[in-house]
């Protein structure tokens, strides 16, 4: 399949995607560790539940989003999120359910809905295979995918332009709901952070998805070519915050994981205990 150089012709015009004058915030949350991730397998759109660690990660990010203004505060508005949108795969649904329960436990109202537009990239013949097996059986294709993702992808899998084609309408729906019935914002206000400004006074929504689909989401919103796919990264249960100011996207925070620090420390202590009990150095 041939694509224009850099994918520019197939990359969305963000000015057409984002409603005119929109003031809103999107919070992007990657799912927790799945059983396939724990086993070192490529998953794509395979149905894999959260591992025990993944369930704990989901609980921690849910607690963080239930109290977003506890220090260090997240740059999100006051009030309840308008909606909680998630990929319908099991690992994202489990993460979204944890977030929904924590929101309601904190007295917040939230509407949860799945959207297949935020499914992870389909990885064709690679789904379910261990990464070492993929490297052995599909070495050249895997190397090409890592270097030139617009020219190579998993056999029988989904290309980046194909994924972007379903991400666009999913984003348009979320942004349209955030804009519905609200007056447009203006750029004639402070644009530089750090001046103790109040929390934004506009609606916000949460999206629970996957690393690959969030890479394409950010490229689409910032109108960047798809061959920049590898410029973004999202850790498990990491939080990114994207604010739209009068129709212009601004990345306020990216790949935040401080809420998982206690879990990481606990795993490190457990690993040290295991080594000590086994006599390993």
Active site residues: 31, 120
The tokens describing 231, both together, are 């410029």
CB 37 within 8 A of CB 55: no
The tokens describing 42, both together, are 């490529």
Q: Which of 38, 31, 34 is nearest to 60 (CA)?
A: 31
178 alpha carbon, distance to own chain's centre: 18
Q: Which residue has the tokens 């915050």?
A: 241
Bridge partners for 108 per DSSP: none
The tokens describing 185, both together, are 């914002």
Q: Which of 31, 45, 41 is nearest to 93 (CA)?
A: 31
Q: Is the dihedral of CA 204, 82, 257, 158 positive or negative?
A: negative
73 alpha carbon, distance to own chain's centre: 19
Neighbours of 6 (CB within 10 A): 14
**Segment holding 75, helix H or strand E:** none
User: What percent of the residues of the chain are helix, what percent strand, and what percent coil, each to the nearest 5?
Assistant: 45, 15, 40
The tokens describing 272, both together, are 């040290």
């Amino acid at each position: 399949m041939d694509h224009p150089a850099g994918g520019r012709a197939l990359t969305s015009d963000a000015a057409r995607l984002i409603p005119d004058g929109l003031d809103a915030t999107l919070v992007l949350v990657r799912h927790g560790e799945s059983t396939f991730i724990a086993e070192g397998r490529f998953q794509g759109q395979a149905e894999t539940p959260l591992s025990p660690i993944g369930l704990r990660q989901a609980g921690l990010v849910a607690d963080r989003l239930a109290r977003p203004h506890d220090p260090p505060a997240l740059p999100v508005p006051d009030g309840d999120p308008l909606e909680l949108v998630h990929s319908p795969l099991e690992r994202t649904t489990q993460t979204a359910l944890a977030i929904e329960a924590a929101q309601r436990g904190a007295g917040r109202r939230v509407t949860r809905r799945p959207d297949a537009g935020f499914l992870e990239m389909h990885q064709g013949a690679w789904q379910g295979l261990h990464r070492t097996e993929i490297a052995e059986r599909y070495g050249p294709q895997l190397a090409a995918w890592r270097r030139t993702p617009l020219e190579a992808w998993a056999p029988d899998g989904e290309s980046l332009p194909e994924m972007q084609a379903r991400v666009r309408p999913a984003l348009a729906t979320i942004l349209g709901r955030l804009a519905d019935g609200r007056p447009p914002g203006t750029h004639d206000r402070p644009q530089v952070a750090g001046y103790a400004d109040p929390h934004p006074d506009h609606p916000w929504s949460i999206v629970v998805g996957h690393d690959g689909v969030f890479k394409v989401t950010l490229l689409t919103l910032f109108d960047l070519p798809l061959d920049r796919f590898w410029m973004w990264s999202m850790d498990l249960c990491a939080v990114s915050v994207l604010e739209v100011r009068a129709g212009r996207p601004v990345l306020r925070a990216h790949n935040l994981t401080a809420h998982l620090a206690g879990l990481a420390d606990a795993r490190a202590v457990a690993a040290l205990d295991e080594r000590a009990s086994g006599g390993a150095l």
